[in-house]
Structure 1
Amino acid sequence: MGKILVNKSRTLTGHNDCIYALVEGSDPRFFYTGSGDGMVVEWDLDDPEDGKLIAKLPHSVYALGIDRVRNWLVVGHNFEGIHIIDLEENKEIWSLKITDQAIFDIKVIGDEILVGTGDGVLILVDMETKAIKRHIKLSSKSIRVMAFAQDKKHLALGLSDHTIKILDQSKEYQPISNLIGHSNSVFALGYSPDEKTLISGARDAHLKFWDTQEYQLDENIIAHMFAINYLSFREDGKYLVTCSMDKSIKVWDVEERKLLKVIDRARNAGHGTSINKVVWSSYSQQVIAISDDRTISIWNIESPNP
């Protein structure tokens, strides 16, 4: 394996508070960020310097979800509920007050919006009727992150009770497995593109690889100095990025389960505070990161060809 080459393409500014939410658009040329001051901004990877404000809410935004079919953005408005923005029309088309808790993650599956809340409830919202369909109480602790395996129809949820719960979406979210192994809140979760592996990261700084056939632990790596906040696969599944409260981004070889590159302030003029989320763009193959320092960084990551 040759050397991974990294250089920073851009640093984007405009948010006035810590940036917590990041999602790739249904057109992956665009991505969306949400921050502690309630600002939701659209960014264009072809012309990234000028973000476009598309919502300003009274409370912080920790979570954004994308409906790729309808081209809608679902905004998680803490202590209130969800706001639906039509990205074609560039306007809010409806909203729903569903919780007085923080909203930590949102996924859109078919005609349902799944909302993970601070009191351990998974809220299912029907997009056709614009109404709550069901509450599923999973824990007394927060649901922090969700990942969905499209072919398997498995929904994985990382919680602040240190567990990962696996539900079968095709069987009305029946529980399949309860993964125990982390010693603190699970913040990062992702299925590999082939759905054979589920990778989790937590406040305990450990990265765990789970075989999804029986949901057995395959490998455990002490990956960061502090909490792992998020992870994202490259589209082909060969590589993975993690980001951390330790202010670094790390690039991993998924098959070898090996660290390839550390991106940080000292070596690469990286972020100076906690990095909250990362997305490996399927449009530009760049890595996008957001931070408590109110900036967005875009990284060119070149891997050697075999």
Structure 2
Amino acid sequence: MVKIQVNKLHTLTGHNDCIYALSEGSDPRFFYTGAGDGMVVEWDLDNPKDGKLIAKLPNSVYALEVDRERNLLIIGHNFEGIHVIDLNENKEIWSLQLTNQAIFDIKIFGNEILVGTGDGILVVVGIPERAVKKHVKLSSKSIRVMSIAPEKRHLALGLSDHSIKILDLANNFEPLANLQGHTNSVFALGFSPDEKILCSGGRDAQLKFWNSGDYSLSENIVAHMFAINYLSFKEDGNYLVTCSMDKSMKVWDVENRKLLKVIDKARNAGHGTSINKVLWSTYSGQVVSISDDRTISIWQIEEKNL
């Protein structure tokens, strides 16, 4: 029997609006946040109290992604497009006007930036070319979240039309599967580190486990009171953390599909409003959470064998 112990280590402040975006750095000691105030900030897990302003944009930032190979930070700038920051130089090196829509998620695969937009289009941008290579129209509704299985070369996308679409990155974004089961927008999506499982969550508050071999549904859990906003696997794949509009985070045993711990305001001095993203750090094993309450929390989550 495993017992999960939670200790809140830090509360970080500095953003002046709801914090929406969270990404781990090329050096995972660092992470990046973006908010409704247009600010993008770098934080250091070894010295977390002092954030460093990386960019200040006129519109909200919902999406951030780090290109680890080139040490670039890709910022999704709502109603504008993307800004590319060279993190070695701490300066913007190029930008692209892509869409007049919100950008909810960005992923990097090889030499391409994959941008999911509010009008259901996947925009493929070539990094060497600094230009749009392809538009893939998937829906009339928003692409909310994406996850990549790099070995399988599969791209999973969660949409506001309640579906999860699987595309083949090895074969020109050809569709592989269209998963139906959620009854509302899909906000949370992640392949397990071994790529055997795809987990999803959404506005319907349900957490689903899909077998990535044939994308059949293996488990459905009513996991939260309100929308599941995001999820993140621990690096070893044993645990998963979800966060919700219900102001709580929950730690799950992946193999047994069991709830192990609830982290909230009453029990753990957690966030006071919706928790928008979580990141299980590959550097420290700590969990970072961001919220509408304009704060960032860093949590020590440890297992104790009983």
Check if 1:7 corresponds to 2:11: no
CA distance in 1, matches of 2:175, 2:3: 42
Q: Deviations over 1:160-190 (max 9, x none)?
A: 0000000000001100000000000000000
The residue number in structure 2 matching 1:272 is: 272
| 1:84 CA displacement | 0.3
Superposition pairs of residues 206-285 of structure 1, within 5 angstroms = 206-285=206-285
Superposition pairs of residues 162-173 of structure 1, within 5 angstroms = 162-173=162-173
Instruction: Report SS of the residue matched to 1:4.
Output: strand
Output the TM-score relative to the length of structure 2: 0.99
The residue type paired with residue 60 of structure 1 is S
| 1:304 CA displacement | 2.4
How many residues matched? 306
Sequence identity (%) = 75
Superposed CA RMSD in Å reads 0.7
Superposition pairs of residues 79-90 of structure 1, within 5 angstroms = 79-90=79-90
Q: Deviations over 1:223-260 (max 9, x none)?
A: 00000000000000000000000000000000010000
| 1:2 CA displacement | 2.6
Whether the aligned pair in 1 keeps the contact of 2:149 and 2:155 (CA below 8 Å) is: yes
The residue number in structure 2 matching 1:123 is: 123
CA distance in 2, matches of 1:84, 1:120: 22
The residue number in structure 1 matching 2:55 is: 55
The residue type paired with residue 77 of structure 2 is H
The residue number in structure 1 matching 2:94 is: 94
Q: Deviations over 1:65-123 (max 9, x none)?
A: 11010000000000000000011111111001010000000001010000000000000
| 1:3 CA displacement | 1.3
The residue number in structure 2 matching 1:294 is: 294
Output the TM-score relative to the length of structure 1: 0.99
Instruction: Report SS of the residue matched to 1:266.
Output: helix
Instruction: Report SS of the residue matched to 2:220.
Output: strand
Whether the aligned pair in 1 keeps the contact of 2:3 and 2:305 (CA below 8 Å) is: no
Q: Deviations over 1:29-76 (max 9, x none)?
A: 000000001000000000000100000000000000110100000000
Check if 1:200 corresponds to 2:200: yes
| 1:129 CA displacement | 0.9
The residue number in structure 2 matching 1:68 is: 68
Unaligned runs of 5+ in 2: none
The residue number in structure 2 matching 1:17 is: 17
CA distance in 1, matches of 2:157, 2:140: 14
CA distance in 1, matches of 2:83, 2:143: 19
Check if 1:182 corresponds to 2:163: no
The residue type paired with residue 248 of structure 2 is S
| 1:203 CA displacement | 0.3
Instruction: Report SS of the residue matched to 2:165.
Output: strand
| 1:15 CA displacement | 0.1
Instruction: Report SS of the residue matched to 1:3.
Output: strand
Q: Following superposition, which runs of at least 4 residues in structure 1 exceed 4 angstroms of deviation?
A: none
Instruction: Report SS of the residue matched to 1:114.
Output: strand
| 1:305 CA displacement | 5.1
Instruction: Report SS of the residue matched to 1:304.
Output: strand
The residue type paired with residue 89 of structure 1 is E
CA distance in 2, matches of 1:44, 1:194: 28
CA distance in 2, matches of 1:202, 1:137: 21
